[in-house]
Amino acid sequence: MTTAATKLLAVLGHPIAHSQSPAMHSVWLRRYGIPARYLAFDVLPEDLPHAIRGLQALGAIGCNITLPHKEAALALCHDVTPEAKAIGAVNTLVFHQGTIVGHNTDPIGFWQGLITQVPCPVPHRPIVILGAGGAARGVITALTKHLGVSLLVLNRTLGRAEALRALVPALITGPLNTPLPPDTQMVVNTLSSGAVVPDLSGLPGDCWLYDLSYNPPLTPFLAAGQQRGLRGINGAAMLAHQGAAAFALWFQRTPAVDGEVMEAINGQNRPHL
């Protein structure tokens, strides 16, 4: 029931129609009986400051920030966690006593999505990251924090990959058509949907694929891997875990990422191939 005491949460992006965050957070709000509603708003870049300050003025608890606003939103925060600052982007805002505190829950979401679905990564075989945008920054942050593993970042715009050395000086970088090392243990695809899938033929048979996209569940990247017999996961579990971490920041409790939540995201729980 919506009453005068009902609080607001939101996700701001452009476009936003595809977002599964309202469905996901609504499951948790209902489960815990929290009197709040989570809505999605399509916000143009020039309207972002008004939208964020407007939410704050309306007494919202906080909001999520998605493409293309993650970098711009950071500049609007009064305080930012060291991790979000290093990544240069925020995906979760907490409104607290008149201040806006910025967080980035993508690294924890990526890592939880990985370790809950893939056998423990090993330290001595390289991981390849395709793409060098905001999501890649979160992936690199998580992998560097949890694994001392060699990372190869391949991107269409080489300079953007090289700029990531500010985050991790030991990164190896190259253009997208660089042959993938034959001992690669995992390839993480952070390319925007629509980017051409690179040649996966040099990968060993035990290499895992991790696509940050999740719609459709069998993404073109995972489908190309499947043709080669490679196992893979999509980004649905990452979305759920980054959402759970955001929920914990707002309500001081970490909700379970279970079948009901995955069903809300996917329509069907199919994170594995």
Ligand X SMILES: NC(=O)c1ccc[n+]([C@@H]2O[C@H](COP(=O)([O-])OP(=O)(O)OC[C@H]3O[C@@H](n4cnc5c(N)ncnc54)[C@H](OP(=O)(O)O)[C@@H]3O)[C@@H](O)[C@H]2O)c1
* Catalytic residue status for 70: yes
Question: By CB under 6 A, is residue 195 in contact with ligand X?
Answer: yes
Task: Choose among 265, 246, 268: nearest CA to 108.
Answer: 246
Among 80, 106, 219, 222, the residue binding ligand X under the rule CB under 6 A is: 106
- Residue 193 is a binding residue for ligand X (CB under 6 A): yes
198 contributes a contact to ligand X by CB under 6 A: no
Distance CA 91, CA 105 (A): 7
Of residues 123-142, which lie at the interface with ligand X (CB under 6 A)?
Answer: 131-136
52 or 129: CB nearest ligand X: 129
Q: How far is the CB of 132 from ligand X (least distance, A)?
A: 5
155 binds ligand X (CB under 6 A): yes
Q: Is residue 83 a contact point for ligand X (CB under 6 A)?
A: no
Query: Of the two residues 160 and 231, which places its CB atom closer to ligand X in the complex?
Result: 160
CB 147, min distance to ligand X, A: 19
Least CB distance from residue 71 to ligand X, whole Å?
A: 8
The beta-strand segments (E) located in 156-226 are 172-175, 186-189, 208-211
- In the complex, least distance from residue 82 CB atom to ligand X, rounded to whole angstroms: 20
Q: Which of 92, 91, 107, 86 is nearest to 61 (CA)?
A: 92
In this complex, which beta carbon is closest to ligand X, that of residue 56 or of residue 151? Answer: 151
Segment lying near ligand X (by CB under 6 A), choices 119-127, 179-187, 193-201, 224-232: 193-201
Alpha carbon separation from 11 to 20, 171, 241, 259 (Å, rounded): 10, 32, 16, 22
Minimum CB separation of residue 78 from ligand X in Å reads 23
Write the Ramachandran bin of 252: left for phi over 0, alpha for psi from -120 to 50, otherwise beta. Answer: left
Q: Which of 36, 40, 188, 212 binds ligand X (CB under 6 A)?
A: 212
146 exposed, middle or buried (CB, 10 Å; 0-12, 13-18, 19+)?
Answer: middle
Asked whether position 177 contacts ligand X by CB under 6 A, the answer is no
Beta-carbon contacts of 258 under 8 Å, excluding residues fewer than 6 positions away, are none
DSSP, collapsed to helix, strand or coil, labels residue 19 as: coil
Q: Please state, in angstroms and rounded to a whole number, the distance separating the CA atoms of residues 98 and 219.
A: 42
> ω into residue 255 within 30 of 0, thus cis?
no
Nearest CB to ligand X, comparing residues 96 and 178: 178
d(CA 204, CA 180): 10
238 part of the interface to ligand X, by CB under 6 A? yes
Q: How many CB atoms lie within 10 A of CB 179?
A: 10
CB of 56 or CB of 139, closer to ligand X: 139
For residue 98, count other CB atoms closer than 10 A to its CB: 7
Q: Pick from 22, 109, 225, 232: which binds ligand X (CB under 6 A)?
A: 109
- Provide, rounded to whole angstroms, the least separation between the CB of residue 106 and ligand X: 5
Residue 234 is encoded by which pair of tokens?
């999509």
Sites of contact with ligand X (CB under 6 A): 67, 106, 109, 131-136, 155-157, 160, 190-195, 212-214, 235, 238-239, 242
- Catalytic residue numbers read 70
